[in-house]
C-alpha cells in the first residue's frame, strides 16, 4: 500500500494529471479513501509551491529588464490595455471572477499549476493565490473522493 500511495503522491504532483485522475484510479486500485485524499492534497500542494516561488524570481528578473528598457525609451507612449481579443477576454474574466473564481475552477479547467501562473501574472498576491488554491485543492479532493466512492459502490451494487 505504501508504494501505491507514493505513486498517487507523484501523480498528484504532476501537472494536468492531478486529483481528477489520481483519486478515481487510486480508489479503483483499492486504496483507502482518507489516506489517498491526504496524499493527493500533499502531492498537489507540494508541486504548487515551486510554481509560486519561480514566479517571484521571474517577476524580479522581468522588472529589472523592463526598467532597463524604459530607461532606453524615455518619452514613448505606453498602453496598459490588452493587445489581443484573447487578452481582452481574459482581462474581462479576471475582472469579473478574479482569484476565487479561477481557484475554484482550476482543478477542472486548467489545473492548479497553470491557474497559479495565470493569477500571479494577473497581479494577484502570491499568499492569497496559495491560500485560494490550497482551499480549492482540498474542496475538490474531498468532493472527488466522495463522488468516486459513491460511483464505485453503485457499480458494485449493479454488478451483484
What confidence tens digit (pLDDT) does each residue in 77-118 have?
555 555 677 677 767 778 888 999 999 998 888 889 988 988
Instruction: Domain of residue 101: give its range.
Output: 41-61+87-154
What pLDDT, on a 0 to 100 scale, did the predictor assign at position 160?
Answer: 76
Mean per-residue pLDDT for 121-131? 91
CA separation (Å) from 130 to 38, 53, 120, 126? 18, 11, 10, 6
Task: Tell me: pLDDT of 123 over 90.
Answer: no
CA distances from 86 to 58, 90, 92, 94, 129 (A): 23, 6, 10, 12, 23
Q: How confident is the model at residue 43 (pLDDT cuts 50, 70, 90)?
A: very high
147 in any annotated domain: yes
3-state secondary structure 117-152: HHHHHCCCCHHHHHHHHHHHHHHHHHHHHHHHHHHH
Q: Is residue 82 part of a domain?
A: no
pLDDT of amino acid 63: 82
Give the pLDDT mean for 61-72: 80
Residue 133 inside a domain? The answer is yes
Residue 5 inside a domain? The answer is no
In a domain? residue 80: no
Segment 48-76 shows an average pLDDT of 82
Mean pLDDT, range 38-50, rounded to an integer: 94
pLDDT of residue 103: 93
| pLDDT for the residue numbered 17 | 85
Number of domains in the chain: 1
Tell me, yes or no, whether 32 lies in a domain.
no
Quick check: is 9 in a domain?
no
Q: Is residue 56 part of a domain?
A: yes
Amino acid at each position: 500500500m505504501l508504494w501505491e500511495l507514493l505513486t498517487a503522491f507523484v501523480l498528484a504532483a504532476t501537472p494536468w494529471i492531478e486529483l481528477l485522475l489520481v483519486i478515481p484510479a487510486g480508489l479503483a486500485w483499492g486504496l483507502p479513501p482518507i489516506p489517498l485524499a491526504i496524499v493527493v492534497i500533499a502531492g498537489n500542494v507540494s508541486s504548487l509551491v515551486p510554481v509560486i516561488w519561480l514566479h517571484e524570481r521571474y517577476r524580479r528578473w522581468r522588472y529589472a529588464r523592463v526598467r532597463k528598457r524604459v530607461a532606453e525609451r524615455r518619452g514613448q507612449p505606453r498602453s496598459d490595455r490588452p493587445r489581443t481579443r484573447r487578452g481582452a477576454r481574459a482581462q474581462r474574466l479576471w475582472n469579473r471572477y478574479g482569484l476565487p473564481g479561477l481557484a475554484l475552477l482550476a482543478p477542472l479547467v486548467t489545473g492548479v499549476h497553470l491557474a497559479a501562473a495565470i493569477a500571479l501574472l494577473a497581479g494577484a498576491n502570491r499568499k492569497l493565490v496559495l491560500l485560494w488554491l490550497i482551499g480549492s485543492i482540498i474542496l475538490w479532493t474531498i468532493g472527488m473522493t466522495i463522488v468516486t466512492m459513491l460511483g464505485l459502490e453503485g457499480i458494485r451494487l449493479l454488478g451483484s
